[in-house]
Amino acid sequence: MGWKHTAAVGLLALSAGVAGLVVGSIVTGKGAPRGITDLLSRSAATRWLAHAWIDAARPAAPAGVPIAQKGDPAPTVTLLDRDGKAAALTQWQDRLVVLNFWATWCAPCRKEMPELDRFQRKHAANGVQVVGIALDGTADVEAFLRDTPVDYPILLAPNPAANPSLPFGNTYGALPFSVLLGRDGRILDTRLGEVSEAVLESWIAPHR
């Protein structure tokens, strides 16, 4: 068996494996594996493939529920600050905003908050803003933040059961879920699952 034949068989097997991963991520509704799509996103030549895979594997939205797409303005959702006053995301216009939907009962959410906090402190003077949106009760959030304080603002959903992350594209119904908003208030990207400081750095890099 010649090396060309061996290479062809290897390429075919690799293609079949990738195709299997793509189909599996769509059928199960778990979404595209971010470890792989992150690698694909590092190159301009394969970034389109990563984005297409993520979009294709995203579960469908409930009937009649409008879901914002990349490039759309951020949906208007009802939010409160920690004092119970109405809060709007437009207060951070002209900044690159990382919205992080989380809850105290979500273990990956709790794990990533120190990473988000370090990222915020590093970029506070660079026009970048992290905003946490808790899908939790006020008492639970306040108790958690007493033990795990963060430097970035935390907003709350008056009705967490309504899932305010859904209009932003979280059709998975899972947490944590993060959204990157451009300085014009439009959605640049969304991400399901835990983030690290390194992931956040690579996420904002093309948009600084």
For 49-99, what is each residue's pLDDT tens digit? 655 655 666 667 676 778 999 999 999 999 999 999 999 999 998 999 999
Q: Which residues pair with 147 in a beta bridge?
A: none
pLDDT value at position 2? 46
**pLDDT-above-70 percentage for the chain:** 71
CA–CA distance, 127 with 202 (Å, rounded to integer): 16
pLDDT value at position 13? 39
Q: Are strands 86-87 and 79-80 parallel, antiparallel or unpaired?
A: antiparallel
Listing DSSP states for 95-137 in one string gives SEEEEEEE-TT-HHHHHHHHHHHHHHHHHGGGTEEEEEEE-S-
Task: Extract the tokens encoding 44.
Answer: 């301009």
Per-residue burial over 127-154, b if 16 or more Cβ lie within 10 Å, else e, is ebbbbbbbbbeeeebeebbeeeebebbb
How much is the pTM?
0.76
Q: Which residues pair with 132 in a beta bridge?
A: 100, 154
Domain ranges of the chain: 3-57, 79-207
CA–CA distance, 58 with 60 (Å, rounded to integer): 6
Per-residue burial over 11-24, b if 16 or more Cβ lie within 10 Å, else e, is eeeeeeeeeeebee
CATH superfamily of 79-207: Glutaredoxin (3.40.30.10)
pLDDT value at position 89? 95
pLDDT value at position 52? 63
Residues of the chain with pLDDT under 50: 1-29, 41
The dihedrals phi and psi of 86, each to the nearest 5 degrees, come to -60, 140
Find where tokens 């208007």 sit: 76
pLDDT value at position 172? 85
CA–CA distance, 131 with 118 (Å, rounded to integer): 13
